[in-house]
Amino acid sequence: IVLFEDLKKAIEENQLLLHFQPKYGLAHNQIEGVETLVRWKHPEKGMISPGEFIPLAEESDLIIQLGNWVLKEACYQYKVWEQQSYINFHLSINISPKQFLHPDFTDNIIQVLEETGMSPLKLDLEITESLAIENTESTIEKIQILKQYGIQISMDDFGTGYTSLSYLSMFPLDRIKIDRSFIQYLPDNKDHKAIVQSILTVAKNLNIRVTAEGVETQAQLALLHQLQCEEVQGFYFSKPVPPDSLLAHWNAQL
Ligand code: G
Ligand code: G
Ligand code: MN
Ligand code: NA
């Protein structure tokens, strides 16, 4: 088991690192964005997955500290890529509900953007459905403030919570990411195909872009292409990779 004290130390002693997974736009077959995924290189236990330590961090205010570290580090990385190459993709960062709801969240983001010189237009925040459902008013309010700066907002793991499709119109979202549980059994599962199709139709009418997560096969990709899904992400294209490999992926397509 992972210990709270260990994690606290990990943040302070730089044991965390960032990997990035590309998201491809199907219109131009190009990397449109990259998702930041944190990793923990434990001195004795080796690599620990965020699935193990994010929930632990979320039990306390440690998630604020961890979230701020990820934010700052990812924006710095973006600037480093910009210095290394011509890049033209957005940077997505997963935001925990507690982090999003913190009163200093917006100020902190703006400060990090100023400090790193990263354009707010290139930043995309992935929020969760449960945040939106449980804190509807405050979430809408905060999204509106962030959008004034030009920051993009995506709803992550869409379909796993209880958001009805009509709910989508309440939030000024740029993008929704269809959870991989709906992509996994495509193209054969007719129910999942119908669900994905409905999400795409509603999103298109609301002017919200759609990313399909967890694409692993050519057959899934072909169907998503046929359904006119705009963006795809998954192991079929690339697993999350270190910063240098991400830039190599980008440069290889130019
Ligand atoms: O990378 P992996 O698929 O193992 O991630 C597992 C989970 O951890 C996913 O739900 C992902 O959104 C979450 N996660 C990864 N990095 C971060 C992060 O920096 N902040 C938050 N809040 N969640 C993250
Ligand atoms: O909750 P979130 O969507 O942020 O989770 C991202 C997680 O999904 C990461 O841990 C990443 O490793 C994982 N992931 C990304 N692509 C795929 C995929 O194609 N298949 C599977 N099984 N997991 C994936
Ligand atoms: Mn995500
Ligand atoms: Na997701």
Q: List pLDDT tens digits, range 127-136.
A: 999 898 889 9
Residues 63 and 71: their CA atoms lie apart, in Å, by: 12
Please choose from 54, 63, 93, 98 the residue to mutate so as to test ligand 1's pocket, defined by most ligand atoms within 8 A of CB: 54
Q: Is 94 in the pocket of ligand 2 (CB under 6 A)?
A: yes
What per-residue confidence (pLDDT) applies to 1?
58
Cα of 94 vs centre of ligand 1, distance in Å, is 6
Output the six-digit token pair for 13.
Answer: 């002693």
Residues 228 and 69: their CA atoms lie apart, in Å, by: 36
What per-residue confidence (pLDDT) applies to 3?
76
Q: Is 4 in the pocket of ligand 2 (CB under 6 A)?
A: no
Which residue is associated with the tokens 């973006």? 78
pTM over 0.90: yes
pLDDT in tens, 139-188: 999 999 999 999 999 999 999 887 778 889 999 999 999 999 999 999 99
3-state secondary structure 77-122: HHHHHHHHCCCCCEEEEECCHHHHHCCCHHHHHHHHHHHHCCCHHH
Output the six-digit token pair for 46.
Answer: 């080796």
Beta strand 152-158 pairing with 16-25: unpaired
Q: Is 240 in the pocket of ligand 2 (CB under 6 A)?
A: yes
- Predicted confidence band of residue 61 (pLDDT cuts 50, 70, 90): very high
Percent of the chain at pLDDT exceeding 90: 89
Residues 108 and 98: their CA atoms lie apart, in Å, by: 14
Cα of 132 vs centre of ligand 4, distance in Å, is 15
Nearest to 138 by CA among 174, 93, 179, 106: 106
Residue type, 67: G
What per-residue confidence (pLDDT) applies to 2?
60
* CATH no. of 4-253: 3.20.20.450
Output the six-digit token pair for 51.
Answer: 């699935």
What ranges do the domains of the chain cover?
Answer: 4-253
Nearest to 132 by CA among 123, 142, 146: 142
What burial letters (b/e) apply to 109-148, b meaning 16+ CB within 10 Å?
beebbeebebbbebbbbbbbbebbeeeeeebeebbeebee
Which residues face 40 on adjacent strands?
A: 16, 48
Residues 160 and 182: their CA atoms lie apart, in Å, by: 9
Task: Tell me what the mean pLDDT of segment 226-234 comes to.
Answer: 98
Q: Is 82 in the pocket of ligand 2 (CB under 6 A)?
A: no
Please choose from 233, 239, 241, 246 the residue to mutate so as to test ligand 2's pocket, defined by most ligand atoms within 8 A of CB: 239
Which helix (H) or strand (E) element contains residue 33?
strand 30-42
CA atoms within 13 A on the CB side of 195: 20
Give the mean pLDDT of the chain: 95
Residue 187 preceded by cis peptide, ω within 30: yes
